[in-house]
Structure 1
Amino acid sequence: MRVAYSLLRYFALFWVTVLSVGTVIQYAFFKEGNFFLRIKEQAVATGWYMPAFYCHVFGSSLILIAGFFQFSKTVYSKPRLHKALGKLYVLGILFFAAPGAYVMTLFINRGVGVFTSFLLQNTLWVIFTTLGWLTILKKNVGRHIKMMRRSYALAFGAVTLRFYIWLFTVLGFGVNFNHNYLIIAFLSWVPNLLVAEWLNRNSKAIALQ
């Protein structure tokens, strides 16, 4: 159990760092000539997409790092730091990353299945994050930890989405076919939630590994 948990943490830290730092470097200068933004020209032209895009990508980069360290004993043993990072995480999701994702979802052009996947993921993200916040206000630490594990599992979907896109591309299948992107869309967050549930069932609520 402890070894598996440690491996998950190292895996998560590596990819969180790669994605967060890479995203900031890639989009820091607000250039619309990026490949991803070029294929979203019609969405960008509406005037709605770019603000939502930057709220989501920069908000997600920040909360991925803040959220990751919330599960460490070092941070958890420092109430003020834990509380400050927790506020940053929750506010970043509810006021920047998730609203931006909702707007971006409206411009998905890869079919109803992909649209449904991202809409469901984002909605569950908001629900679990909100419940995590409300439960700690009620001093229910055990339930708070479980909710925030679920919340972070969904936040980590930003990492696994890009990992699977890379993997499918390397294997030669690509992501241009709807059924491939549909598989990736659900694969990016459903297994994450299953891992969170496994952790919730197999580790004590307060005994952070």
Structure 2
Amino acid sequence: MGKILRYIALFWIVFLCAGTFYQYIDFKHQSVFLQLKQKAVETGWYLPAFYCHIFGSSIILIAGFFQFSKKVYNNRPLHKALGKLYVFGVLFFASPGAYVMTLFINRGPAVFASFFIQNTLWVIFTLSAWLLVMNGKIDEHIRMMRRSYGLAFAAVTLRFYIWLFTIFGQGVNFPNNYIIIAFLSWVPNLLLVEAINYYERKNGFKVEGSKTL
């Protein structure tokens, strides 16, 4: 079951990332989403942040996914390279871009708060994971990276819920649903991660290997 879920997750990650590059790699700004954000685009701040976020998030989603593979974990040079790519991508591209984009959200304070909290936790968890591994605390590092990736994976779950609410909304005004979607995209992800971390701590799970990744 675990393998099936991982394959499903990988499919949606690849589908989302490929679609992102296909739609935006020409930088022509003609997508439906950007057409709705014309006032934000006109400020000159939105587009750079938007491209940093979507391309940075696409790369780190793929890099982060394979970090949880045993084969990649046991290949120290590859694991370190992908880890640096993930941390650098989050802290210097995806997350800063998300902060700027959050300033232009026009769906009310609750949606703004959801994305702002999510992004802030993403930065905290990612930076904490990096500091933990630098101090040789491997178990804590892995658990913190799960939290970070759970928030990164919100890019996938957000679009899934947008599709779900659009198809099965039964005429409910979509903007009213967006508050639910905003929190639903990342809160359950973190709850699942915490359940996994709790199970491992309860059963005394330890990571074998060297003190540094």
Q: Which TM-score tier does this pair reach, normalised by the shorter chain? A: over 0.9
Contact 1:174–1:180 (CA under 8 A) maintained in structure 2: no
Does 2:165 correspond to 1:164? no
Q: 5+ unaligned residues in a row in structure 1: which ranges?
A: none
What corresponds to 2:40 in structure 1? 43
Residues 1:60 and 1:190: Cα distance change in structure 2 (over 3 Å): same
Give the counterpart letter for 1:34 in structure 2: S
1:152 partner letter? Y
Count residues with an aligned counterpart.
Answer: 204
Q: Does 1:131 align with 2:128?
A: yes
Following superposition, the deviation at residue 170 of structure 1 comes to: 1.3
* Structure 1 residue 178 displacement after superposition: 3.1
Query: Does the 8 Å CA contact 2:50/2:101 hold for their aligned counterparts?
Result: yes
Match for residue 206 of structure 1? 207
Unpaired runs of 5+ in structure 2?
Answer: 209-213
Q: Distance in 2 between matches of 1:84 and 1:175?
A: 46
TM-score with structure 1 setting the length: 0.94
Q: Does 1:78 align with 2:75?
A: yes
Counterpart of 2:72 in structure 1: which amino acid?
A: V
Mapped contact 1:57–1:97 kept (Cα < 8 A): yes
TM, length-normalised to structure 2: 0.92
**Aligned partners of 2:25 and 2:197: how far apart in 1?**
37
The RMSD of aligned alpha carbons is 1.4
Q: What is the 5 A alignment of 1:89-104?
A: 89-104=86-101
Report the residue type matching 1:38 in the other structure: Q
Residues of 1 paired with 2:192 and 2:172: CA distance? 25
State whether residues 90 and 123 of structure 2, in contact with CA within 8 Å, keep that contact through their aligned partners in structure 1: yes
How far apart, in 1, do the equivalents of 2:171 and 2:108 lie? 16
What is aligned with 2:143?
146
Provide the identity percentage: 65
- Contact kept in structure 1, 2:154 and 2:189, CA below 8 Å: yes
Q: Aligned to 1:113, which of 110, 113, 129?
A: 110
Pairing partner for 1:192 from 181, 189, 204: 189
